[in-house]
């Protein structure tokens, strides 16, 4: 009997609900989490070797307990990386280091305080006109068409183009950035075979090289953008920020800064158009756009799980978790928990407490880019609902979800721009 199995005193048996949970399968995920909250709020998933926590109160307690839980594992590959790939990274001078989601303690707070001087509501608000202009450009290209995949035509690359505004990058193919970011997501949160891992490794090294190039260019010619700001904050002093830290901060942003928003936007439109009465409310009252964004983030988060590692023996929901064991926080479950959200399974853009969701995490590691994602999604809804008030989903389409344990979003979403 393994140590993990011995730890299950008083909890749900390994052979029970934990073996039924397929973290890569998104169809039926929410109904499974609803059952787990009721029957077994924390359970062990043997394939991943993690404890899955499903109730909002327990998840919030973990997020807020930075002394007993480490964020170091947050973005570690869920599947072991083969030695060949590790050797390739080492030989390629790949030196990305923890800076945001997977860094703990004073080091994390130091970097966060610096980043927050640029990544904040006030600065983001200054980009609203440019963001709206981008959306209107996409809409202009859509006019005259009937049935389109709105992900491919607009939502997939739009957040990356917004990110380029912050980075001062021009003339960059957003699809290349998206392809690189997709490889990183799959390596961290997906299930790849050996050849797929090696392919992803090569793409990630190219991505890292591109990021280093941005920093080198701004060092030579500063501009009014985020990398230039970080270099200015550094002031040549490694005790404030090293060049490698700056490169790593940009590398992190070049993933988190658009992938979550792409998936969240796709999820939001899918939810709105699957409930035509909710879309009609938005069309009739565009001031509901912000509320619709929050309900979309709650009801269909783009980040459905996140990880922490126990730093000592402790209990969660009466279950013993040993030092060193990993907990998988089911954010998608917390966001529908009936203990906090009345009729949590119902999508309602007029819900009063929708903003209580954990789509951007909670506590010291809460996403700095959350205000930008909210801004992008609000503008997107305002412009789309005005341009295509009769927007409808194509009937009977099967949604193909991104195959990772953490990120959830539709690969495609076919719509009729002007209704049936």
Phi (first) and psi of residue 319, to 5 degrees: -100, 130
Region 148-167: what's the mean pLDDT? 97
Distance of alpha carbon 282 from alpha carbon 368, whole angstroms: 27
Band (pLDDT 50/70/90 cuts) for residue 277 is very high
348-395: pLDDT as tens digits: 999 999 999 999 999 999 999 999 999 999 999 999 999 999 999 999
Closest by CA to 258, choosing from 359, 148, 362, 181, is 181
- Taking the domains of the chain in order of start, what are their residue ranges? 3-416
pLDDT (0 to 100) of residue 171: 85
pLDDT (0 to 100) of residue 11: 53
Helix and strand numbers (H, E) in the chain are 18, 10
5-20: pLDDT as tens digits: 334 434 565 547 999 9
Report the C-alpha dihedral over residues 101, 312, 328, 99, rounded to 10 degrees.
Answer: 10
297-319: pLDDT as tens digits: 999 999 999 999 999 999 999 99
Report the C-alpha dihedral over residues 223, 229, 233, 239, rounded to 10 degrees.
Answer: -100
Distance of alpha carbon 261 from alpha carbon 374, whole angstroms: 8
Q: What percent of the chain has pLDDT over 90?
A: 94
pLDDT (0 to 100) of residue 12: 62
Domain covering 3-416: architecture: Orthogonal Bundle (1.10)
> To 10 degrees, what angle do helices 370-387 and 243-274 make?
40
């Amino acid at each position: 009997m393994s140590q993990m199995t011995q730890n299950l005193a008083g909890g749900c048996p390994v052979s029970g609900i934990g073996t039924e949970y397929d973290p890569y399968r998104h169809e039926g995920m929410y109904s499974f989490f609803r059952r787990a909250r009721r029957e077994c709020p924390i359970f062990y998933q043997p394939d991943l070797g993690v404890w899955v926590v499903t109730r909002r109160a327990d998840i919030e307690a973990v997020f807020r307990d930075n002394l007993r839980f480490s964020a170091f594992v947050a973005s570690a590959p869920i599947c072991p990386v083969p030695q060949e790939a590790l050797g390739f990274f080492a030989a390629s001078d790949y030196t990305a280091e923890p800076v945001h989601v997977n860094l703990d303690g004073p080091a994390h707070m130091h970097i966060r305080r610096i980043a927050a001087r640029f990544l904040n509501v006030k600065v983001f608000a200054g980009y609203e006109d440019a963001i709206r202009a981008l959306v209107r450009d996409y809409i202009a290209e859509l006019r005259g068409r009937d049935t389109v995949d709105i992900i491919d035509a607009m939502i997939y690359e739009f957040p990356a183009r917004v990110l380029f505004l912050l980075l001062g990058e021009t003339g960059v193919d957003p699809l290349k950035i998206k392809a690189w970011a997709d490889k990183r997501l799959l390596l961290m949160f997906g299930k790849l075979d050996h050849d797929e891992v090696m392919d992803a490794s090569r793409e990630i090294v190219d991505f890292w090289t591109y990021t280093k190039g941005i920093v080198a260019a701004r060092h030579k010619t500063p501009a009014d953008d985020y990398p230039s700001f970080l270099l200015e904050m550094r002031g040549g002093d490694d005790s404030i920020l090293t060049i490698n830290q700056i490169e790593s901060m940009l590398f992190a942003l070049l993933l988190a800064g658009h992938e979550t928003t792409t998936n969240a936007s796709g999820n939001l439109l899918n939810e709105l158009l699957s409930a035509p009465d909710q879309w009609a409310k938005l069309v009739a009252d565009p001031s509901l756009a912000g509320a619709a964004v929050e309900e979309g983030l709650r009801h269909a988060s783009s980040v459905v799980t996140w990880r922490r590692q126990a730093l000592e023996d402790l209990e969660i929901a009466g279950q013993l978790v040993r030092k060193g064991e990993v907990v998988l926080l089911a954010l998608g479950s917390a966001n529908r928990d009936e203990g906090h959200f009345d009729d949590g399974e119902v999508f309602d853009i007029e819900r009063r407490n929708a903003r209580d969701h954990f789509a951007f995490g909670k506590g010291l590691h809460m996403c700095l880019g959350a205000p930008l994602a909210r801004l992008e999604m609000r503008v997107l809804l305002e412009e789309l609902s005005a341009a295509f008030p009769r927007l409808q989903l194509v009937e009977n389409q099967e949604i193909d979800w991104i195959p990772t344990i953490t990120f959830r979003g539709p690969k495609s979403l076919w719509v009729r721009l002007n209704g049936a």
